[in-house]
Structure 1
Amino acid sequence: MTPSRTSLPARAGAVLAVGALTATLGTAAASPASAAPRTTWADADTAAIHPGVQMYTEGGQCTGNFVFTDAEGSTYVGYAAHCAGTGEATDTDGCEAGSLPLGTRVDFVEGGSLLGAGTRVGGGTLVYSSWLAMEATGETEADTCAYNDFALVEVDAADAADVNPSVPFHGGPVGLATDGADAGSTVYSFGNSSLRAGIELLSPKVGLTLGQGGNGWTHSVYTLTPGVPGDSGSGFLDAQGRALGTLSTLALAPLPASNGVGDLSRELAYAQQHSGIAGLALVPGTEPFRGMLG
């Protein structure tokens, strides 16, 4: 596996991992249980921060997956833990890989490509990393270490009004997929790698699942177009428009050009247990799920 931040080289081997990291863990403060969750969002057509937004962490570019909130009404955008990785592109075991610490700043960017840096549309702070959480808790379960690749960036309060939780083009998510996806079923995604030279028509993707692995922790998928470095962290919807997972790896073998997608229901459950963020939950999109109908 090899992390797919664009600043990291694609790793040779069976699978390209989309990142790697480890550092000292600082847990986010728990939110007051009495606080009201956020219920209003920017218009989907004009929101600057949304699923599929480009996220830059100390020069490395990834793609945001879904929007989350907590009991206090704070807003988070998810991406892959390896997007804040400090190790080699071949470092994919989250229980051993190196990471930037919590508190690291992350920029939300629109239009970043090889032709230019794009426009910064907001900022946030890394407040949860599955890799750091697993290191802090002494996680040893092999599948969890291998496939739990999820992180949360808290959107700055000044930028929270510019957030919408809808997935561009496809719409949704309509909820969280908690029972995986059957082999052969349809999946949808929106990758926003800077390697696509800003051509948005290449971002919406549709594909098929090839089955689950890692005792339910990961899904192998084929999409048109395949995921590329910089798409790491992007979200996948199942055939019903539910949030299924997050892009973690780019496979070279045994299924060339397939993608490894971490199971979001498991990753989110781990975060709810170990992040210290009270009331952490996925936010459904304000736009109806349309799939590839656009």
Structure 2
Amino acid sequence: MIAPARRRSVARGLAAVMAAAALIATGGCATSTTGTAPSPSATPPSTTTALRTTAAPSIVAAADSGVSWAPAAQAQLHPGVQAYTGDSQCTTNFVFTDARGEVYFGQAAHCGHVGTEKLPNGCTATTVPIGTPVDLRTGGSLRTRGTTEATGTLAYDSWAAMQAAGEKDPNACAHNDFALIRLPKNVVGAVNPSLPHWGGPVDLDVDRVSAGDRAYGYGDSSLRGGRNALSPHIGLVQATADPGTGGWAHTVTAVRPGVPGDSGAGYVDAQGRALGTLSTLSLSVPPRNTLSDLSRELRYAQQHSGIPGLRLVLGTEPFHS
């Protein structure tokens, strides 16, 4: 893990009057006070990649998933909505489904962390239990709770799974930062799997990103107070994978990085393939975000979640950068 990186959920402990920059500098967390909320492309958009289905068992085209998705322009629920696990506010990444037709949003495992460590180890840290309710909201800020669009339940937590499996790989323990929120059946019709602003994902990136490539993400930190124009992120990948992480992490630099509350946000590579999930912020110049590699996180979940046929759902909208 890159020091002095910080996990970036929005959690209790800081006053609402603090500015976002101060929150980053003091530990990467934000909160609310009692009675308030818990805690652009440089070139014109153009279609660059057509949606497709591959033979990979980890993905499924939206049209082949057996789910009736809401049109992207009308969906109340989509990647990038705010997820509140207790007082911790994070951002959902991608949409997943399984062999039983259940639908899930991904988020960061550290969003359910119970403790005070600034950079906890996933193989030892305590998290909320499976089955914990997770509110999916829009418009939440430090002043308002926003609108609860649905309440799901925590169905998988990579930290708990690694502890149950006795995981010994230090790279997995440091960077496998992934959880799944199962949605109730009655809200699935309001879901669209496309990444806002960018479209896609069109595939799953499996060790195909290179240093210097662009990465595109979408976060919805409550620190922004609903200013969605600041939600799309563009970064540059600094290495194929961080040296010494076994491919589990990618470093991305950006003038406008992900901030506390963007934790868990989904990123795609320059071709629109799902690349990673936002995990940490490192205070360097320029600031660096660490993405946990989604292909490894998903493979681990397939092996340890007990969820049959778990797959990433591709977007209904084409990717454009």
Aligned to 1:229: 260
Q: Is the 8 A contact 2:255 2:286 kept in 1?
A: no
Are 1:266 and 2:296 an aligned pair? yes
Partner of 1:145, secondary structure, is helix
Q: Deviations over 1:162-182 (max 9, x none)?
A: 111000110000010011411
Q: Is the 8 A contact 1:192 1:203 kept in 2?
A: yes
Q: Deviations over 1:11-63 (max 9, x none)?
A: 879x9699xxxxxxxxxxxxxxxxx9433201111111110010000021000
Cα distance in 1 for partners of 2:29, 2:276 equals 15
Q: Relative to structure 1, is the Cα distance of residues 43 and 247 closer, same or farther in structure 2, using a 3 angstrom cutoff?
A: same
Are 1:288 and 2:318 an aligned pair? yes
Aligned to 1:4: 8
Q: Is the 8 A contact 2:194 2:200 kept in 1?
A: yes
Q: Quick one: which amino acid aligns to residue 269 of structure 1?
A: R
Q: Quick one: which amino acid aligns to residue 278 of structure 1?
A: P
Q: 1:3-82 counterparts in 2 under 5 A?
A: 3-7=7-11, 37-82=65-110
Cα distance in 1 for partners of 2:29, 2:141 equals 21
Partner of 2:204, secondary structure, is coil
Partner of 2:296, secondary structure, is helix
Are 1:125 and 2:153 an aligned pair? yes
Which one of 114, 134, 140 corresponds to residue 142 of structure 2? Answer: 114
Which runs of 5 or more residues in structure 1 are unaligned? 19-35
Cα distance in 2 for partners of 1:218, 1:166 equals 23
Partner of 1:132, secondary structure, is helix
Q: Is the 8 A contact 1:16 1:251 kept in 2?
A: no
Q: Relative to structure 1, is the Cα distance of residues 3 and 17 closer, same or farther in structure 2, using a 3 angstrom cutoff?
A: farther
The alpha carbon displacement at 1:93 in A equals 1.1
Partner of 2:203, secondary structure, is coil
Cα distance in 2 for partners of 1:98, 1:235 equals 24
How many residues are treated as equivalent by the alignment?
Answer: 272
Q: Deviations over 1:133-172 (max 9, x none)?
A: 0000000111010000000000111211111100011000
Cα distance in 2 for partners of 1:129, 1:11 equals 25
Aligned to 1:85: 113
Aligned to 1:29: none
Partner of 2:89, secondary structure, is strand
Are 1:277 and 2:281 an aligned pair? no
CA RMSD across the alignment: 2.0
The alpha carbon displacement at 1:115 in A equals 2.9
Q: Quick one: which amino acid aligns to residue 144 of structure 2?
A: G
Cα distance in 2 for partners of 1:256, 1:140 equals 33
Q: Relative to structure 1, is the Cα distance of residues 12 and 129 closer, same or farther in structure 2, using a 3 angstrom cutoff?
A: same
Q: Is the 8 A contact 2:177 2:292 kept in 1?
A: yes
Which runs of 5 or more residues in structure 2 are unaligned? 14-22, 31-63
Q: Relative to structure 1, is the Cα distance of residues 278 and 17 closer, same or farther in structure 2, using a 3 angstrom cutoff?
A: farther
The alpha carbon displacement at 1:256 in A equals 5.4
Partner of 2:238, secondary structure, is strand
Identity %: 51
Q: Structure 1 length normalisation: TM-score?
A: 0.88
Cα distance in 2 for partners of 1:63, 1:248 equals 11
Cα distance in 2 for partners of 1:186, 1:12 equals 26
Q: Is the 8 A contact 1:130 1:149 kept in 2?
A: yes
Aligned to 1:21: none
Q: Is the 8 A contact 2:108 2:277 kept in 1?
A: yes
Q: Is the 8 A contact 1:66 1:282 kept in 2?
A: yes
Q: Is the 8 A contact 2:198 2:320 kept in 1?
A: yes
Q: Structure 2 length normalisation: TM-score?
A: 0.81
Cα distance in 2 for partners of 1:115, 1:46 equals 26
